[in-house]
């Protein structure tokens, strides 16, 4: 069996492989660099995979051993030349150490450039551990100090995340993980990021998990209260067991509003630094017309695909039309672009923002373009909505909890916006027409996405549209 | 020196010599370490127990607790595993501020007993391996103190310059007024002397003038008086305020630190193995100054209370997430090698909320003080058990945190049995009710007529002494009392809890607080310093590591811990000795019940294997 075949069948099984269900037609090794000779050896491959309609690039770090120890069996790729076995080297701490050392030493091997930032200080020689795999990349933690995000699927061009975090770190921002270095190559003639090394925030928790803690506490409080109400003789005059409705998000012990407010302030700080680093601009009526035009197009597409959306079309159309009537000017700047609770970390020193790559499906130029900072605010507000509603899915008392969910969202969205304005951001309250349209646009996108990929979650955006 | 230079007659050794049972002049009550090896850093491993003498045990039958009563209960404290008793003020006082208004530094408050009773208490405690420290207020005295009476009536006399006097109330305008509810100025006019006197607290508590060398000396004599009686140290009340300087806020001044260094040097020279515990309700970054110089291993106070940690433990559990704790510990600076934090859950004061933001204070009130009566000053006046709705799981989690977070734990009397409070009593008396020993009359606290008690015991159906008392819990192996005792015992078996470094671990779950306490005996600066200073080998505690995993949520939680640096180690659970699966390369998965926690010992790994 040729090595390409082994790689092809291995690739098709990977979570980050984009061509699922499209049939993997052609696989070619377009670059092959030896990084470590001997046993174990390390080779860096770039693969080009043609699907029925398109081509994708993938990066694979191949480890080579004559004998594969048991602990690496689960990442076996297949037989290589010289009687060696190939496997996914990211899982082998012996082979990731030289990678880290090469970054520290600013090494160039073949077309690969490994580079540390001038002020970066980090320890080499630490064992690495693969963190949970993600859609398009795999992250390795070295010791508890640095994290190397290795892009599995490559898109030619510089990575916006590296560009942004480096710029923000230069401004002394406390709101990003300090970038330490990177690995790059040339792909289709342009410098292309292969991996980014940054400071590992070891005591951090993802905002999504954190918010879920608060929601969970609130719903359990409602259930407890409801159970108490059913106890005989425990009911005052005129009280007819409306316990569920009586619980407010503000009363639950796991209240998130303080965190939401701090997150709002942190977001405003990041926006201020982005503006300082990449500049700002004002756009007028024509830009807004263009924006609403795009929103309408997306709406049409979504309605065609998801009939349940039809009953909200009038409301959404009105909101877009109201936006189109605004004269402007609107301030625009570099933004995060894909902002939600999964992109922020709560650390012991406050909130930190991750992944400035923008929406992965969007072309690079568009991701780096300026837009309204309220786009990020809208993204986060939609994320609050998801945080509250996704725990209702499949819950028997869903109907009873709906009011409570809405109250949680309202409270935390309010706190976030207040914190954002306090931190010097564009006041969401004073720009509600734009913010509302941006949220609706996001919700429409969600409807389309859920209908295609995760039908059980479709009620989340649909229910919230019903309440807009 | 003028011929009027007075000899400081006060404190006079004669005052003590005349008292019955007092040791002959010049002879000391035996030190703690008489028959034991030296243990200069005992306070870093000790479990402290705060006792309100008034509320612990009444031996005389007059309705008020006394020293003899406490002495009669030492066996209980020994059984519980207490290392050091902290006494609230025991001195002669008009009691207008809970005894913190001292009228005579060298006399015991008569209701509590006399010097002989105190000496007996010290001796009996030491026999049981228990040390005694007491509150001491250096900053000010009661206006009833003979020093003040002499100072106001005879400005040119020997005590004329013992207090801070001025013709007008204009100086030190930048010093804040601490008791804003009752005081309008830090100056009060004295009609007898015809001048104003300085006071940072109540107007009946004039501040001593530490600029005066004689005041400095007199205070050191006071300390020596009690040290000679065998006391093991002091909790120094209100230390930040000893000196005043124009143009400053008159807190934490360098002169104050210099004086504390002098006290420490004098104590160390003549009275080894004693402890000075600073009360400075300030942020850790400021409090750390009271430990003194880093290079010396600390040359001011040995210990200081960590005030902001306590409300954050409550906040973290109520919010079901670790950040309130992680944050404050991340902001806590390193302390000199020979020093230690004192940490606590509850004490005789309200649960103070000075060290939290306004937003957090509102939150704490809402969660823990549902009735306005539960509040006092800027805080919440409740005991631990009622604060936690008497939930055994939470009581255990809180106690486990108290016993495992960095610092020496200070327990408040009665919390080991989960005593309740009485919010209908005034001020902070609600948490100062009699200790509940038995289901008998007055809870076994006193044989007096119940109407004579200084405060009524708690009598409600849940927390009342009939149901909740030491005797009942001693009989019942699953009681909170037995559980607490077992936990103290585990803590004492592992000195790493007191001596070890604290390192929070990466945990995938925000509701789980996981940390490692680690102590490398040979390598610590503390050990080296002891060897150097005492020239004789000091018995070292063995190297040890404990992993603590706490679920702050009421729901069961899984957690994946990155324990790679302990690869190959087999964790042993501390309570039951059960061995858990060995730590490998992959994240270590644990599941915890709601409000559950684990303490694991991490013994040394077997030789590198499997790799």
- Other beta carbons within 10 angstroms of residue B610's beta carbon come to 12
For B536-563, write each residue's pLDDT tens digit: 555 556 788 999 999 999 999 999 998 9
pLDDT for position B29? 58
Q: How many residues does chain B have?
A: 611
Burial of A422 (0-12, 13-18, 19+ CB in 10 A): middle
| Chain B neighbors of A209, CB-CB under 8 A | 508-510
- The shares of helix, strand and coil residues in chain B, as percent rounded to the nearest 5, are 30, 15, 50
Query: In this prediction, what percent of chain A has a pLDDT beyond 70?
Result: 93
- A157 vs A160: CA distance, rounded Å: 9
For A309-325, write each residue's pLDDT tens digit: 999 999 999 999 999 99
Question: What does the mean pLDDT of chain A come to?
Answer: 89
Distance of CA B344 to the CA centre of its chain: 7
* pLDDT band, residue B6 (cuts 50/70/90): very low
pLDDT for position B357? 77
| Chain A neighbors of B509, CB-CB under 8 A | 205, 209
Smallest Cβ distance to B511: which of A213, A220, A251? A213
Categorise residue B601: left if φ over 0, alpha if ψ from -120 to 50, beta otherwise.
Answer: beta
Give whole-number Cα distances, B228 to B23, B28, B86, B222, B232, in Å. 9, 5, 18, 10, 10
Smallest Cβ distance to B585: which of A71, A348, A349? A71
Structure tokens at A304: 């065609």
Structure tokens at B292: 């003194």
- B511 vs A410: CA distance, rounded Å: 24
Cβ-defined contact of B363 to A255 (cutoff 8 Å)? yes
Cβ-defined contact of B323 to A348 (cutoff 8 Å)? yes
Burial of B394 (0-12, 13-18, 19+ CB in 10 A): buried
Distance of CA A431 to the CA centre of its chain: 26
pLDDT for position B301? 96
Q: In angstroms, what separates the C-alpha of B387 from chain A's closest C-alpha? A: 13
Three-class secondary structure of residue B270 per DSSP? helix
**Of all helices (H) and strands (E), which one includes residue B362?**
helix B358-368
| Chain A neighbors of B565, CB-CB under 8 A | 143
pLDDT for position B27? 55
Give whole-number Cα distances, A109 to A14, A32, A44, B143, in Å. 27, 11, 10, 82
Q: Is the pLDDT of residue B253 over 70?
A: yes
Mean pLDDT of A393-416: 89
Asked if residue A375 has a cis previous peptide bond (ω within 30° of 0), the answer is: no
Cβ-defined contact of A348 to B326 (cutoff 8 Å)? yes
Q: Hey, CA dihedral for B6, B10, B11, B15, is it positive or negative?
A: positive
Highest averaged pLDDT of the listed ranges A396-400, B36-40, B348-352, B400-404: B400-404
Cβ-defined contact of A203 to B554 (cutoff 8 Å)? no
Beta bridge partners of A353: A176, A344
How far separated are the first and last CA of chain A, in Å rounded? 58
Q: In angstroms, what separates the C-alpha of B347 from chain A's closest C-alpha? A: 24
Residue B279 appears among annotated catalytic residues = yes
Smallest Cβ distance to A253: which of B319, B511, B555? B319
Query: In this prediction, what percent of chain B has a pLDDT beyond 90?
Result: 72
Cβ-defined contact of B585 to A258 (cutoff 8 Å)? no
- B437 vs B445: CA distance, rounded Å: 6
Q: In angstroms, what separates the C-alpha of B337 from chain A's closest C-alpha? A: 25
Q: Which of A206, A217, A344 to mutate to test the interface with B (most CBs of B within 10 A)?
A: A217
Cβ-defined contact of B510 to A205 (cutoff 8 Å)? yes
* pLDDT band, residue B36 (cuts 50/70/90): low
CA-nearest residue of chain B to A346? B323
- B248 vs B241: CA distance, rounded Å: 11
Beta bridge partners of B235: B135, B277
* pLDDT band, residue B14 (cuts 50/70/90): very low
Write out the residues of chain A at the interface with chain B, using a CB-CB cutoff of 8 A: 71, 93, 127, 129, 141, 143-144, 202-203, 205, 209-210, 213-214, 216-217, 220, 251, 253-255, 258, 261, 346, 348-349
Number of CB pairs, chain A paired with chain B, less than 8 A apart: 67
Helices (H), B405-552: 470-475, 480-493, 496-499, 525-534
Q: Are A300 and A255 in contact, with CB atoms under 8 Å apart?
A: no
Distance of CA B409 to the CA centre of its chain: 8
| Chain A neighbors of B562, CB-CB under 8 A | 129, 141, 144, 202
Smallest Cβ distance to B327: which of A205, A209, A348? A348
Q: In angstroms, what separates the C-alpha of A59 from chain B's closest C-alpha? A: 24
Query: In this prediction, what percent of chain B has a pLDDT beyond 70?
Result: 89
| Chain A neighbors of B367, CB-CB under 8 A | 253
- Other beta carbons within 10 angstroms of residue A362's beta carbon come to 14
For A265-290, write each residue's pLDDT tens digit: 999 999 999 999 999 999 988 889 99
User: Cα–Cα–Cα angle for B82, B84, B86, nearest 5°?
Assistant: 120
Question: What does the mean pLDDT of chain B come to?
Answer: 88
Cβ-defined contact of A258 to B321 (cutoff 8 Å)? no
A132 Cβ contact partners less than 8 Å away, ≥ 6 residues apart: none
For A46-93, write each residue's pLDDT tens digit: 999 887 667 789 999 999 999 999 989 999 999 998 899 999 999 999
Place of tokens 């005797």: B471
pLDDT for position A1? 58
Q: Which of B313, B326, B391, B567 to mutate to test the interface with A (most CBs of A within 10 A)?
A: B326
Phi, psi of B230 (to 5 degrees): 100, 5
pLDDT for position B537? 53
Helices (H), B231-356: 254-270, 284-287, 309-319, 323-330
Q: Is the pLDDT of residue B500 over 50?
A: yes
Mean pLDDT of B171-188: 90
Cβ-defined contact of B506 to A349 (cutoff 8 Å)? no
* pLDDT band, residue B609 (cuts 50/70/90): very low
Write out the residues of chain B at the interface with chain A, using a CB-CB cutoff of 8 A: 318-321, 323, 326-327, 329-330, 359-360, 363, 366-367, 504, 506, 508-511, 553-555, 562, 564-565, 585, 587
Phi, psi of B303 (to 5 degrees): -135, 160
* pLDDT band, residue B611 (cuts 50/70/90): very low
Distance of CA B601 to the CA centre of its chain: 28
Q: In angstroms, what separates the C-alpha of A404 from chain B's closest C-alpha? A: 18
Mean pLDDT of A106-124: 94
For A128-157, write each residue's pLDDT tens digit: 989 866 677 899 999 889 999 999 989 888
Q: Is the pLDDT of residue A238 over 60?
A: no
Structure tokens at B449: 């007529």
Beta bridge partners of A33: A44
DSSP B163: B
Smallest Cβ distance to B319: which of A144, A220, A254? A254
Cβ-defined contact of B506 to A254 (cutoff 8 Å)? no
ipTM for the whole complex:
0.77
Q: Are A19 and A51 in contact, with CB atoms under 8 Å apart?
A: yes
pLDDT for position B35? 59
Task: Give the residue from B206, B355, B201 showing the smallest Cα distance to B286.
Answer: B355
Cβ-defined contact of A213 to B553 (cutoff 8 Å)? yes
Give whole-number Cα distances, A434 to A131, A207, A317, A385, in Å. 38, 25, 13, 18
CA-nearest residue of chain A to B363? A253
pLDDT for position B354? 74
| Chain B neighbors of A251, CB-CB under 8 A | 366
Strands (E), B310-431: 340-344, 351-352, 375-376, 379-380, 408-412
Task: Give the residue from A335, A343, A344, A339 showing the smallest Cα distance to A368.
Answer: A335
Three-class DSSP labels, chain A: CCHHHHHHHHHHCCCCCCCCCCCCCEEEEEEEEEEECCCCEEEEEEEEEECCCCEEEEEEEEEEECCCCHHHHHHEEEECHHHCEEEEHHHCHHHHHHHHHHHHCCCEECCEEEEECCCCCCCCCCCEEECCCCCCEEEEEECCCEEEEEECEECCCCCHHHHHHHHHHHCCCCCECCEEEEEEEEECCEEEEEEEEEECCCCCEEHHHHHHHHHHHHHHHHHHHHHHHCCCCCCCCCCCCCHHHHCCHHHCCCCCHHHHHHHHHHHHHHHHHHHHHHCEEEECHHHHHHHHHHHHHHHHHHHHHCHHHHHHHHHHHHHHHHHHHCCCCEEEECCCCCCCHHHEEEECCEEEECCCCCCCCCCHHHHHCCECCHHHHHHHHHHHHHHHHHHHCCCCCHHHHHHHHHHHHHHHHHHHHHHHHHCCCCCCHHHHHHHHHHHHHHHHHHHHHHHHHCHHHCHHHHHHHHCC
Residue B135 appears among annotated catalytic residues = no
Cβ-defined contact of B363 to A258 (cutoff 8 Å)? yes
Smallest Cβ distance to A217: which of B320, B360, B565? B320
Smallest Cβ distance to A253: which of B318, B329, B360? B318
Q: Are A197 and A181 in contact, with CB atoms under 8 Å apart?
A: yes
Among A145-159, A352-366, B596-610, name the one with the lowest average pLDDT: B596-610
- B49 vs B517: CA distance, rounded Å: 23
Q: In angstroms, what separates the C-alpha of B503 from chain A's closest C-alpha? A: 10
Cβ-defined contact of B366 to A217 (cutoff 8 Å)? no
Cβ-defined contact of A251 to B553 (cutoff 8 Å)? no
Q: Is the pLDDT of residue A7 over 60?
A: yes
- A60 vs A62: CA distance, rounded Å: 6
Q: Is the pLDDT of residue B305 over 90?
A: yes
Place of tokens 């001195």: B91
pLDDT for position A241? 41
Give, to the nearest 10 degrees, the angle between helix A432-453 and helix A285-305: 30
Identified catalytic residue from B273, B279, B300, B421: B279
Among A381-385, B343-347, B463-467, B606-610, name the one with the lowest average pLDDT: B606-610
Cβ-defined contact of B320 to A209 (cutoff 8 Å)? no
Its pTM stands at: 0.85
Count Cα atoms within 13 angstroms, Cβ side, for A293: 6
Give whole-number Cα distances, B270 to B33, B223, B264, B278, B564, in Å. 14, 12, 10, 20, 48
For B270-283, write each residue's pLDDT tens digit: 998 899 999 988 88
| Chain B neighbors of A352, CB-CB under 8 A | none
For B415-458, write each residue's pLDDT tens digit: 999 999 998 887 788 999 999 999 999 999 999 999 999 999 99
pLDDT for position B23? 45
Mean pLDDT of B181-201: 94
Task: Give the residue from B347, B362, B310, B317 showing the smallest Cα distance to B421.
Answer: B347
Q: Are B16 and B471 in contact, with CB atoms under 8 Å apart?
A: no
């Amino acid at each position: 069996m040729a090595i390409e075949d082994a790689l092809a069948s291995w690739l098709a099984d990977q979570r980050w492989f984009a061509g699922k269900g499209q049939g993997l037609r052609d696989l070619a090794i377009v670059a092959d660099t030896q990084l470590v000779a001997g046993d174990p050896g390390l080779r860096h491959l770039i693969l080009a995979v043609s699907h029925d309609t398109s081509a994708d690039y993938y990066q694979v770090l191949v480890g080579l051993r004559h004998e594969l120890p048991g602990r690496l069996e689960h990442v076996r790729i297949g037989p290589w030349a010289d009687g060696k076995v190939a496997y996914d080297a990211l899982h082998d701490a012996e082979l990731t150490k030289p990678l880290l050392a090469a970054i520290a030493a600013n090494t160039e091997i073949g077309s690969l450039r490994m580079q540390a930032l001038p002020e970066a200080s980090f320890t080499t020689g630490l064992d690495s551990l693969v963190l949970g795999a993600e859609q398009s990349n795999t992250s390795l933690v070295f010791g508890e100090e640095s994290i190397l995000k290795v892009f599995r699927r490559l898109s030619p061009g510089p990575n916006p995340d590296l560009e942004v975090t480096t710029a923000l770190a230069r401004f002394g921002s406390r709101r990003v993980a300090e970038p330490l270095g990177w690995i790059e190559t040339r792909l289709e003639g342009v410098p292309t990021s292969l991996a980014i090394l940054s400071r590992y925030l070891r005591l951090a928790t993802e905002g999504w998990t954190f918010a879920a803690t608060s929601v969970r506490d609130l719903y359990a409080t409602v259930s407890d209260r409801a159970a108490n109400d059913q106890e005989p003789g425990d009911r005052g005059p005129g009280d007819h067991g409306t316990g569920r409705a009586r619980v407010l998000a503000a009363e639950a012990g796991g209240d998130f509003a303080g965190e939401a407010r701090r997150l709002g302030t942190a977001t405003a700080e990041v926006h201020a630094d982005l503006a300082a680093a990449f500049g700002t601009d004002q756009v007028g009526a024509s830009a807004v017309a263009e924006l609403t035009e795009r929103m309408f197009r997306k709406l049409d597409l979504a309605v065609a695909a998801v009939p349940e959306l039809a009953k909200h079309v009038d409301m959404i159309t009105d909101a877009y039309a109201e936006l189109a009537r605004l004269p402007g000017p609107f301030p625009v700047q570099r933004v995060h672009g894909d902002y939600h609770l999964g992109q922020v970390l709560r650390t012991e020193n406050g909130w930190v923002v991750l992944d400035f790559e923008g929406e992965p499906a969007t072309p690079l130029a568009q991701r780096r373009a300026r837009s309204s900072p309220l786009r990020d605010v809208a993204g986060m507000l939609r994320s609050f909505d998801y945080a509250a509603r996704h725990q209702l899915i499949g819950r028997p008392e869903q109907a009873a909890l709906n009011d409570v969910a809405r109250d949680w969202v309202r409270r935390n969205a309010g706190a976030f916006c207040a914190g954002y304005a306090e931190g010097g951001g564009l006041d969401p309250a004073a720009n509600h027409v734009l913010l509302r349209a941006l949220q609706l646009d996001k919700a429409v996108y969600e409807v389309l996405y859920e209908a295609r990929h995760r039908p059980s979650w479709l009620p989340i955006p649909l229910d919230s549209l019903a309440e807009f | 020196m003028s011929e009027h230079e007075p000899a400081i007659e006060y404190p006079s050794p004669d005052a003590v010599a005349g008292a019955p049972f007092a040791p002959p002049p010049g002879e000391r009550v035996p030190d703690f370490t008489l028959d034991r090896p030296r243990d200069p850093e005992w306070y870093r491993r000790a479990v402290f127990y705060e006792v309100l003498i008034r509320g612990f045990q009444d031996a005389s039958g007059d309705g008020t607790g006394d020293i003899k009563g406490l002495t009669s209960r030492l066996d209980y404290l020994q059984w519980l595993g207490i290392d050091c008793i902290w006494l609230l003020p025991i001195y002669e006082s008009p009691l207008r501020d809970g005894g913190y208004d001292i009228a005579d530094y060298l006399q015991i408050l008569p209701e509590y007993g006399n010097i002989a009773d105190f000496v007996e208490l010290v001796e009996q405690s030491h026999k049981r391996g228990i040390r005694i420290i007491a509150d001491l207020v250096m900053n000010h005295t009661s206006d009833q103190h003979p020093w003040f009476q002499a100072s106001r009536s005879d400005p040119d006399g020997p005590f004329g310059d013992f207090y801070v006097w001025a013709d007008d109330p204009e100086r030190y305008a930048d010093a804040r007024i601490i008791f804003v509810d009752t005081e309008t100025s830090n100056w009060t006019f004295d009609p007898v002397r015809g001048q104003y006197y300085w006071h940072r607290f109540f107007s009946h508590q004039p501040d001593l003038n530490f600029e005066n060398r004689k005041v400095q000396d007199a205070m050191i004599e006071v300390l020596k008086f009690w040290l000679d009686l065998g006391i093991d140290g002091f909790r120094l009340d209100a230390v930040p305020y000893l000196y005043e300087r124009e143009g400053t806020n008159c807190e934490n001044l360098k002169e104050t630190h210099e004086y504390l260094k002098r006290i420490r040097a004098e104590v160390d020279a003549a009275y080894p193995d004693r402890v000075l515990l600073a009360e400075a309700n300030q942020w850790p970054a400021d409090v750390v100054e009271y430990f003194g110089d880093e290079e010396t291993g600390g040359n001011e106070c040995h210990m200081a209370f960590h005030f902001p940690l306590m409300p954050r433990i409550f906040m973290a559990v109520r919010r079901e997430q670790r950040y309130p704790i992680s944050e404050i510990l991340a902001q806590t600076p390193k302390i000199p090698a020979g020093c230690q934090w004192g940490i606590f859950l509850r004490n005789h004061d309200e649960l103070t909320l000075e060290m939290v933001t306004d937003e957090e204070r509102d939150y704490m009130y809402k969660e823990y003080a549902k009735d306005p009566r539960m509040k006092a000053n800027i805080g919440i006046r409740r005991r631990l058990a009622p604060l936690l709705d008497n939930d055994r799981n939470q009581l255990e989690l809180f106690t486990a945190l108290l016993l495992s977070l960095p610092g020496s734990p200070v327990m408040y009397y009665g919390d080991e049995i989960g005593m309740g409070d009485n919010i209908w009593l005034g001020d902070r008396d609600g948490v100062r009710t009699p200790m509940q020993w038995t289901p008998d009359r007055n809870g076994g606290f006193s044989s007096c007529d119940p109407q004579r008690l200084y405060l009524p015991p708690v009598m409600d159906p849940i927390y009342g002494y009939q149901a909740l008392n030491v005797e009942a819990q001693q009989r019942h192996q699953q009681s909170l009392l037995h559980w607490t005792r077992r936990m103290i015992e585990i803590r004492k078996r592992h000195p790493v809890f007191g001596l070890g470094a604290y390192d929070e671990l990466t945990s995938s779950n925000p509701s789980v607080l996981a940390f490692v306490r680690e102590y490398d005996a040979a390598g610590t600066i503390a050990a080296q310093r002891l060897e150097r200073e005492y020239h004789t080998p000091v018995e070292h505690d063995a190297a040890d590591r404990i992993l603590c995993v706490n679920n702050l949520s009421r729901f069961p939680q899984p957690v994946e811990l990155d324990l790679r640096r302990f690869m190959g180690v087999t964790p042993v659970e501390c309570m039951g000795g059960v061995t858990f699966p060995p730590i490998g390369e992959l994240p270590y998965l644990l599941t915890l019940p709601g409000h559950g926690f684990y303490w694991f010992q991490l013994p040394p790994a077997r030789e590198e294997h499997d790799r």
